[in-house]
Amino acid sequence: MDLTARETTPAFRSSDMGNGFNSFKSEGSFASPPCMAAEVDPGYFDPLGVDPEQARDVARWRTAERKRLREARQTLSSHQRKATGDALMAGLKRILAVHSAGTGDGVVAFYWPIKDEPDLRSLMAKMQASGRRIALPLVETRAAPLVFRLWTPETRMERGYWNIPVPPRDAPKVMPDVVLAPLMGWDPEGYRLGYGGGYFDRTLAALSSRPFSIGVGLAAAQLPTIYPQPHDIPMDVILTERGTEVGG
pLDDT in tens, 187-243: 999 999 998 777 888 888 888 788 999 999 999 999 999 999 888 999 999 999 999
**Cα(188)–Cα(247) distance, rounded to whole angstroms?**
10
Q: Provide the residue type at 18 as one letter.
A: G
pTM comes to: 0.78
Whole-Å CA distances, 21 to 15, 119, 128, 184, 215: 10, 9, 17, 22, 22
For residue 242, the model assigns a pLDDT of: 97
| Best CA proximity match to 219, nearest among 45, 72, 19 | 72
Report residue 117's pLDDT band, with 50, 70 and 90 as the boundaries.
very high
| Share of residues in the chain with pLDDT > 70 (%) | 77
At residue 121 the predicted structure's pLDDT band, cuts being 50, 70 and 90, is very high
Q: What is the mean pLDDT of the chain?
A: 80
Q: What is the 3-state secondary structure (H, E, C) of 143-176?
A: CCCCEEEEECCCCEEEECHHHCEECCCCCCEECC
User: For the chain, first and last CA: distance in Å?
Assistant: 39
**pLDDT reading at 42 higher than 80:** no
In the predicted structure, residue 8 carries a pLDDT above the cut 50:
no
In the DSSP assignment, the letter for residue 77 is: -
Distance, CA of 214 to CA of 216 (rounded, Å) = 6
**Count of alpha carbons within 13 Å of 116, Cβ hemisphere only?**
16
Confidence of residue 144 (pLDDT cuts 50, 70, 90): confident
For position 100, what pLDDT does the model report?
65
Q: What is the mean pLDDT of residues 58-73?
A: 96
List the one residue out of 179, 185, 195, 107 whose CA is nearest residue 146: 179
pLDDT in the model for residue 160:
81
- 104: confidence class by pLDDT, cuts 50, 70, 90: low
> Would strands 243-246 and 237-240 be described as parallel, antiparallel, or unpaired?
antiparallel
Instruction: Kindly indicate the confidence band of residue 68, based on its pLDDT and cuts at 50, 70 and 90.
Output: very high
Model pLDDT for residues 16-36, shown as the tens digit of each residue = 433 333 333 333 333 333 333
